[in-house]
Chain A
């Protein structure tokens, strides 16, 4: 099955066209197209995003915070239902259920620290069954999705143009 190969390629470079994928996988374009459509339909491919280094994009700076959320699941509401109440807020970018001290870990985005703080206290903390929250503001991002965002002195091609 080409599925996992397609996923591998798109995960690293979502801009590859179906013709590119067909060339790389030695397949025809039509079958790649239908494969991608089925991956999208089945929500295996959930979106195509761009990885942005916000350290550099000064104009549209964002505030990122990791929120550790502890909750007490009740008889009628397990983790999943509480999670859905939180995850549906657009401010929550990413959310996991974790082992360890807290239950959920949410990555929250906002324009200012104040905005994030208010979202946590007004919204997440008030969700039923939520017992406590702990907010960890991101000071600087070094790596995302396998891409190191630290500037190196020379990020240019270091190879000679033509070599034997």
Chain B
């Protein structure tokens, strides 16, 4: 047989995969490793999808998605985030935020173009750059800066070849956020360099201690920003695979060209669920957010008491916990924790080299579940000391 694509085969498998394989063969594992809400999708949202399915709405939709859904998305973003987009020409409903990110890369990159990728950050960004023949340029983030982007660090990584930067705040895996003031400091750099910024805002609603801020709120650079968002985290709808991207008309139409050939349209039943979610689901969002907040406090206070110094993260449902005091590297820590106490977390280096010395602990679990895991984690730390 002929050989496979060099580009595809050379991409290294996700570090998360390894832990998944290990953990799923073991009995009695208690996990703090998931990247999705534990809540079931609110019933009224499911019911709307069922209603439309049972009345025969099971066909393709417009490539960009149902107009009603796009209109509701734009209305929501204007009201909640002060982001203004045109539902007819600037929005595409995609199969999760993941497709939207892939579309961005394909629409923007020529071979050799550089894309700044935060380190640590979500695992799929770098591969999507590589698959579109781009070159990944890491921007290292530090715990002492709460994993924020600092203007001086950003300046250092921009070159004439830089085409775009991809960011994700509130951040998976760090739980870090960028406030409006933080963004204000990098606006000039972005404007001057003319680079695009793909802003993955999937955790926007899980912004705890300050209002959510976005680069798309700054008019002077708005045309350079692509907002990626979706229903997965806010409405507990990961399995519905429903996301969207918003960008200037010209870019959006190029992205839509790719989308229409590769995908046609996002699943229609998910789109009907999305309409119900965005129109009538905000109370559910707030209820879940309130619960995440309780769990965050519970987890972080416990971690600090057992000696794992952890700053209170301001968003998402992750704690990026510094484990350097144990003397173990991330992978060894996670492997031993899994083998000795059957608790699964994700090693920080799965999210980039700068994640070494950290583990990502998810608190998308009930308090009782977290409590049980914490007891085991504490035992693990005690055993390490002896």
One of A20, A22, A161 near B31 (C-beta < 8 A): A161
A-B contact count (CB 8 A): 60
A157 to chain B, nearest CB (A): 8
Nearest-neighbor residue (CB-CB) of B300 within chain A: A23
- Which of B19, B29, B297 has most chain A Cβ within 10 Å? B297
Nearest-neighbor residue (CB-CB) of B25 within chain A: A161
One of A16, A23, A159 near B38 (C-beta < 8 A): A159
A127 to chain B, nearest CB (A): 42
Instruction: Tell me the bound Cα distance from A159 to B35 in angstroms.
Output: 10
On chain B, the residues within 8 Å of A161 by CB distance are 20, 23-24, 29, 31, 33-34, 344
A123 to chain B, nearest CB (A): 41
Q: Are B35 and A163 in contact (CB under 8 A)?
A: yes
One of B16, B34, B36, B302 near A23 (C-beta < 8 A): B302
B314 to chain A, nearest CB (A): 14
- Which of B20, B294, B344 has most chain A Cβ within 10 Å? B294
One of A15, A22, A23, A160 near B20 (C-beta < 8 A): A160
Contact with A along B4-40 (1 / 0, CB 8 A): 0000000000101001100110000101011110100
Q: Are B31 and A164 in contact (CB under 8 A)?
A: no
Q: Are A163 and B368 in contact (CB under 8 A)?
A: no
A88 interface hit (Cβ, 8 Å): no
Q: Are A25 and B297 in contact (CB under 8 A)?
A: yes
Q: Are B34 and A13 in contact (CB under 8 A)?
A: no
B371 interface hit (Cβ, 8 Å): yes
One of B14, B16, B344, B367 near A20 (C-beta < 8 A): B367
A162 interface hit (Cβ, 8 Å): yes
Give B97-139 interface residues, CB cut-off 8 Å to A: 122-124
Instruction: Tell me the bound Cα distance from A15 to B20 in angstroms.
Output: 32
Instruction: Tell me the bound Cα distance from A16 to B297 in angstroms.
Output: 14
Instruction: Tell me the bound Cα distance from A162 to B365 in angstroms.
Output: 13
One of A9, A159, A162 near B294 (C-beta < 8 A): A9
Would A162 and B16 be within 8 Å (CB), given that A13-B367, A13-B368, A23-B302 are in contact?
Answer: yes
B346 interface hit (Cβ, 8 Å): yes
A26 interface hit (Cβ, 8 Å): yes
Nearest-neighbor residue (CB-CB) of B291 within chain A: A12
A136 interface hit (Cβ, 8 Å): no
A126 interface hit (Cβ, 8 Å): no
B60 interface hit (Cβ, 8 Å): no
B347 to chain A, nearest CB (A): 10
Would A23 and B297 be within 8 Å (CB), given that A160-B20, A162-B23, A163-B33 are in contact?
Answer: yes
A24 interface hit (Cβ, 8 Å): yes
Instruction: Tell me the bound Cα distance from A113 to B344 in angstroms.
Output: 50
Nearest-neighbor residue (CB-CB) of B31 within chain A: A161
On chain A, the residues within 8 Å of B33 by CB distance are 161-163
B298 interface hit (Cβ, 8 Å): yes
- Which of A9, A25, A26 has most chain B Cβ within 10 Å? A26
Give A128-164 interface residues, CB cut-off 8 Å to B: 157, 159-164
Nearest-neighbor residue (CB-CB) of A163 within chain B: B35
One of B34, B295, B367, B371 near A163 (C-beta < 8 A): B34
On chain A, the residues within 8 Å of B302 by CB distance are 23
Q: A159-B36, A164-B35, A164-B123 are in contact. List 15 more A-B contacts (CB 8 A).
A: A13-B367, A15-B368, A20-B367, A23-B301, A23-B302, A24-B294, A24-B298, A25-B294, A26-B301, A157-B31, A161-B31, A161-B33, A162-B20, A162-B33, A162-B346
The contact sample of 17 A-B pairs, CB cut-off 8 A, is A16-B367, A20-B298, A20-B371, A23-B298, A23-B302, A24-B297, A24-B298, A159-B36, A159-B38, A161-B33, A162-B23, A162-B24, A162-B33, A162-B344, A163-B20, A163-B33, A164-B123
- 10 tightest A-B CB contacts, nearest first: A162-B33, A23-B301, A162-B20, A161-B23, A163-B35, A24-B294, A23-B298, A24-B298, A161-B31, A164-B123
Partner-A contacts on B (CB < 8 A) = 14, 16, 19-20, 23-24, 29, 31, 33-36, 38, 122-124, 172, 294-295, 297-298, 301-302, 344, 346, 367-368, 371
